[in-house]
Amino acid sequence: MDVPLCVPDVTDADVARVVEVLRSGWLTHGPYNKQLEADFARYMGVKHAVSVNSCASALYLAVLALGIRGEVIMPSFTFVATANAAVTAGATPVFADIRYDTCNIDPAAIEAAITSRTEAIMPVHYGGQACDMDAIMTIAQRHGLAVIEDSAETIGGEYRGKKAGTFGIGCYSFYPTKNMTTGEGGMVVTDDDALAERIRTYVGHGISSNTLAREKAERPWLRAATLPGYNFRLSNIQAALGVGQLARLDEMNTRRREHAAWYNAHLVEVQELLDLPVEADGCLHVFQMYTVKLKGVDRTAFLAELRRRGVGANVHFDPPVHQQPYYADLLRQRRFDLPVTEQVSVSIVTLPIYPGMTPAQREHIIASVRAALLNARQVA
């Protein structure tokens, strides 16, 4: 039996909505963008949501629009897009260590990394679980720092009843492996009116009114750039898919949580060989990924056996960003002491999880994990 790492949950209604847009002729930024942004802002409990073509663009625009040119504290245990956003916008990433239990950035490590050049904190909500936002916001307020949340992996996750990504400026991904998808795509959310308008302007070539608004204007041919912008727009086709996905987000997240609970119940007997994911106090974990940390097990052999059995397991993230060639060279004069990051990066494994997993697939994964642990333990 083959079980992929992730399968997007796309319904017939999603397909029909996309076909409707294709037949309408309005394929670029259009009416469904407006609906998706309004629905997303309402769901997150914020004033503004701006659709973009990726979470990478969302993070970049947040740094750019805030005018950050100094240091941005973030975890190294993340996808490289987090650091890329800071560098390409003219800022400097500074890496702080993570907590072993949640794989989220450690507030104590943030505090220790602050210098006179620090301008922002970029926490990454790892794998479906929010960071300790009480501690992070307290640090940010004490030092006068902006907070840009990389919530690519935690759409719908909560911290003490508040949605991840709504404490500072929130950035989300709609990549096919995420909790909802538009294929490629993302969103920026904020309660700051001026910041939202600035980001919207950057998204559409630096022109402050979008194509749809111009079409309804008295003189739709007028296009005057007020900023040197980009084309970071999400298409109407993608937004149409996103509208249906968002409407089912809580349902899909509930199924992810059910799968994770089932995994935990059936892997507890092998905990001497792996550490299971935890749900931190005050958090609603939405399990964009289900990860385990191996103990005394050869990870390469473990993954090879899983894949031989058709289980599409993977690793997120190895190497961590500070060990990747560009960043190792860029920041070579600054040494980062990240023992937990380095421990986790060489031991973590992501198992398949997605809303449509069947009981038979889950049983196959558990049987395969047990067999792979035995095989890899003998090699280790």
* Whether 172 contacts 180, CB under 8 Å: no
In the set 47, 162, 163, 178, the catalytic residue is: 178
Look up 47 and say whether it is catalytic: no
| 3-state helix, strand and coil shares in percent for the chain, rounded to the nearest 5 | 45, 15, 40
DSSP state of 349: E
Residues 102, 104, 105: CA angle, nearest 5 degrees? 140
Beta-carbon count within 10 A of 52 CB? 27
Q: In what order do the strands lie in the sheet with 158-159?
A: 162-163, 158-159, 283-284
Which DSSP state fits 311?
Answer: B
> 236, 29 in Cβ contact below 8 A?
yes
Between the two ends of the chain, the Cα-to-Cα distance in Å is 27
DSSP track, 257-288: HHHHHHHHHHHGGGTTTEEPP---TTEE---S
Strand partners, 191: none
**Strands 162-163, 158-159: parallel, antiparallel or unpaired by DSSP?**
antiparallel
> Of the candidates 93, 94, 75, 7, which has an alpha carbon nearest to the alpha carbon of residue 317?
75
Active site residues: 178
